[in-house]
Amino acid sequence: MKLEKEQIYHEYLRREKGFIRAPYQPEYDFYSAVRNGHVEKVEALCKDALSSKQGLGILSKDPLQNLKYHFVITAAMLARQCIEGGMDLSDSYGLSDFYIQKADAAKSESEVVDLHRTMSLDYAKRMRALQKKSITSMPIAKAVDYIYDHLHKRITLTDLADYVKLNPSYLSRLFKQEMGVTLNSYIRAKKIEAAENMLRYSEFTPSDISSILAFPSQSYFSEIFKQETGVSPKEYRRIHLFDRGENGK
């Protein structure tokens, strides 16, 4: 009962002081970018220091300790997201343990802020490397990088061929040979993976997602999504919202 009263009181104080929790969408963008190996986006998102994040909760009255607690939360979330994205469980948790120990030894807030950026980029680079582990040639590695960085645009064979400086027909054959799927199938699969994450972890509507991922139309997006997942975007979201509710999340 005493603990419950303390929780109610702290909630009252937050309302009185106009305290606002960190908005959900930027957090989703950050963790999704790391999980999907979008290094450039992670680097851009980390330009805003952890200590200046809007709505950062007060977990300790000591500013440095407060920042360390939030660092630990971020490390744990990154570890789980990257495991779900395919990173080996022991590798991911080992990496988070390493950075948490570094943060624990930090003597200043600036050290923790710098460590947060280093850790985030480390996870993102490892996830990108994981996605490319079966790639043997530099042109295909560059093509995959381009695809990851341009899922929000319409990606054509001509664009990719110009970027990697290969003949379009040769690039198409080489991509199929090394990746085991056609270039169009790979691009479509990556866009659908991004759409699945957005449906599960964001408030974007299927129409929003269709536009963000540069599908020609919402109806085409829904058709391709159902082909890849077996259900419509709306049904996919309903299923996973139910699962999250069942797990108490």
For 55-69, the pLDDT digits (tens) are 567 888 899 999 999
Inter-CA distances, 21 with 14, 25, 29, 45, 63, Å: 9, 12, 16, 18, 17
pTM of the model: 0.54
pLDDT of res. 248: 40
Alpha helices in 17-108 (DSSP H): 24-35, 39-45, 63-84, 89-104
For the chain, the average pLDDT equals 83
- Mean pLDDT score, 151-165: 93
Q: Which residues contact 143 (CB under 8 A, 6 or more apart)?
A: 160, 163, 164, 171, 175, 183
At 15, the pLDDT band (50, 70, 90 cuts) reads: very low
Instruction: Specify the range with the lowest mean pLDDT, choosing from 23-32, 108-117, 153-162, 185-194.
Output: 23-32
Whether 76 has a pLDDT exceeding 80, the answer reads yes
